Amino acid sequence: MAYLAGGGKVTLTQICQTASRSVFHFKTERVSSACTHPDGTVLRDESGRRYRMLRSAGLPDCSSGRFSSKPNLRFRWEFRKLKPGVKKITLLEVEDDVTAGLSFWAWRNVKVAHCKF
C-alpha cells in the first residue's frame, strides 16, 4: 500500500507481530526529505482502539528539526501489539505544534484480515 508524497511515494511494505508489539516496515522512493513524529502518529483499528507508538527507527524525529535527505530509504514504526481479530487499520500522522506546516502520511482502512495477529 503506497502513499504519494510530493513527487515520490511511501510504501507500507510489511507488518510483523512480535510477542509484545506490531512492527510496520516502510520504504520511500524519490522523497526528498522526511522525518517522523512519534507523539503525533496514530494507529487505530476498526473498533476505534488506539495503539501507542513504542519506537521508530530509520528517520530523524521531527522535533529535532532534522530531516532525512535520502530519497530512497527504509524505516519502521513499532506500536503496541494489535489485538487478535483486527481486520482493518488506520495509520496516520496528525498535525500539532511540532509538525505544523509539514505534509503528513496517512493509510486509511488498510485491510489486514488476511494477516494472522
Q: What string of DSSP letters covers 66-80? A: --B--SS-EEEEEEE
Length of the chain: 117
**pLDDT for res 22:** 93
Q: What is the dihedral of CA 66, 71, 74, 76, to 10 degrees?
A: 40
Look at residue 67 in the predicted model and tell me its pLDDT.
86
Is the pLDDT reported for residue 3 higher than 60? Answer: no
Whether 20 contacts 56, CB under 8 Å: no
- Which residue carries 502518529 as its cell? 41
CA distance 12 to 106: 10
Q: What percent of the chain has pLDDT over 90?
A: 37
pLDDT in tens, 50-97: 999 999 999 998 888 888 888 899 999 999 999 988 999 998 887 777
Q: Does the pLDDT at position 34 exceed 80?
A: yes
- Mean pLDDT for the stretch of residues 4-32: 86
Cell 516502510, residue located: 26
Q: Which comes out higher in pLDDT, residue 37 or 48?
A: 48
The answer for 30, left when phi > 0, alpha when psi is -120 to 50, beta otherwise, is left
Q: Cβ distance 73 to 58 under 8 Å?
A: yes
pLDDT for the residue numbered 99:
66
